């Protein structure tokens, strides 16, 4: 596809962005649908300047990553209701000069669970972590729980407690908080159907770490790890070995990009291709890490 004077631009803003695979994922999708768009990553130090640039240059949209998902909010013109509740934005859409913030992270986890046959409705869910990623997931799943329940476990109990309280105040959902403790986990996990790791435990380079001892896992669980590097974390390997269903972090990575694509272009994303490109780009990064 030719880049010409009508080409529309979407960007990633964050710091660092060097290892992002979003450019490969988004550009492959634009090309597959024959859309005259390109996607580029920018390491941003001056966030206000970058936001002014989006408006001044008529950039169509942006992905927002660490460390700007919260800091970007006061710089935007409007917030989608879910992003407002979560308090973090991972997507900007420029509608004729008006910048609107969205959050597609939680929806991506919901879509992944449904795609694997684990619709959260009326189930007991254990969510590990109470950081930014966990907030996005917790707010979306809380809306889908029906008569089910969600327990947020976190090393820093205060954080889990505050998140659970916030969710209860904003949505009518059965959400509790606990501290990340093996004895407490052992009690609650027996009757749980879904376990989601939204902590950073197990991420490269600390691949030997895992948030939960393997003897607590059971075969009636669906275990979802949002860590995507390595592709299969220790948690997922151990869960797979005992016969639990597993969902890898690439699912959230690609599906959150798929929702961004839809918001920017108005078209459904070619997810299969995006998965393929995402996987191969991540493999390349892993090889580079091993050789550097
Ligand atoms: P993200 O945006 O990826 O969610 P974050 O906001 O820094 O990143 O959150 C990281 C999560 O991983 C938190 O829940 C954190 O627990 P604390 O709130 O107690 O910091 C969790 N986490 C990180 N390292 C951990 C460790 N070694 N043991 C247990 N939890 C850990």
Q: Are residues 126 and 198 in the same domain?
A: yes
> For residue 284, how far is its CA from the centre of ligand 1 (angstroms)?
26
Q: Are residues 192 and 275 in the same domain?
A: no
Q: Is 129 in the pocket of ligand 1 (CB under 6 A)?
A: yes
- Is position 54 within any domain? yes
Q: Are residues 156 and 229 in the same domain?
A: yes
Full-model pTM? 0.96
Radius of gyration of the chain measured on its C-alpha atoms: 19
Q: Are residues 119 and 96 in the same domain?
A: no
Give the model confidence (pLDDT) of 238-289 as tens digits.
Answer: 999 999 999 999 999 999 999 999 999 999 999 999 999 999 999 998 777 6
CATH of the domain at 235: 3.40.50.720
Give the model confidence (pLDDT) of 93-146 as tens digits.
Answer: 999 999 999 999 999 999 999 999 999 999 999 999 999 999 999 999 999 999
- Is position 3 within any domain? no
Q: Are residues 95 and 111 in the same domain?
A: no
- Is position 80 within any domain? yes
Q: Are residues 112 and 224 in the same domain?
A: yes
Q: What are phi and psi of 207, to 5 degrees?
A: -70, -15
Contact by Cβ (8 Å): 139, 172: no
Q: Is 132 in the pocket of ligand 1 (CB under 6 A)?
A: yes
Domain ranges, residue 110: 106-248
277 noted as active-site residue: no
Task: State the CB neighbour count (10 A cutoff) for residue 183.
Answer: 7
- Is position 1 within any domain? no
Contact by Cβ (8 Å): 62, 13: yes
């Amino acid at each position: 596809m030719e880049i010409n004077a009508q080409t529309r631009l979407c960007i990633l803003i964050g710091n660092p962005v060097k290892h992002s695979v979003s450019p490969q994922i988004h550009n492959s999708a634009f090309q597959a649908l024959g859309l005259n768009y390109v996607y580029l990553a920018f390491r941003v130090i001056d966030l206000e300047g970058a936001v002014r640039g989006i408006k001044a240059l008529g950039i169509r949209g942006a992905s927002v990553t660490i460390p700007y998902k919260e800091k970007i909010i006061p710089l935007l013109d409007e917030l989608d209701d879910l992003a407002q509740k979560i308090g973090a934005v991972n997507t900007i859409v420029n509608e004729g000069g008006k910048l609107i913030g969205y959050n597609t992270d939680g929806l991506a986890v919901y879509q992944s669970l449904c795609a694997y046959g684990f619709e959260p409705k009326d189930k007991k869910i254990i969510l590990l972590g109470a950081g930014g990623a966990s907030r996005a997931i917790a707010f979306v799943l809380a809306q889908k729980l029906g008569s089910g329940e969600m327990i947020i476990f976190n090393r820093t109990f205060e954080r889990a407690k505050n998140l659970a309280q916030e969710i209860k105040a904003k949505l009518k959902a059965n959400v509790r908080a606990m501290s990340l403790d093996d004895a407490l986990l052992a009690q609650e996990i027996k009757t749980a159907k879904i376990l989601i790791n939204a902590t950073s435990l197990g991420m490269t380079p600390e691949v030997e770490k895992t948030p939960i001892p393997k003897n607590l896992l059971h075969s009636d669980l669906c275990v979802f790890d949002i860590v995507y590097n390595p592709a299969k974390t220790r948690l997922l390997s151990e869960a797979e070995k005992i016969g639990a269903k597993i969902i890898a972090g690439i699912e959230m990575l690609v599906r959150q990009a798929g929702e961004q694509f839809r918001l920017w272009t108005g078209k459904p994303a070619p997810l299969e291709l995006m998965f393929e490109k995402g996987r191969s780009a991540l493999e390349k990064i892993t090889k580079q890490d091993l050789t550097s």
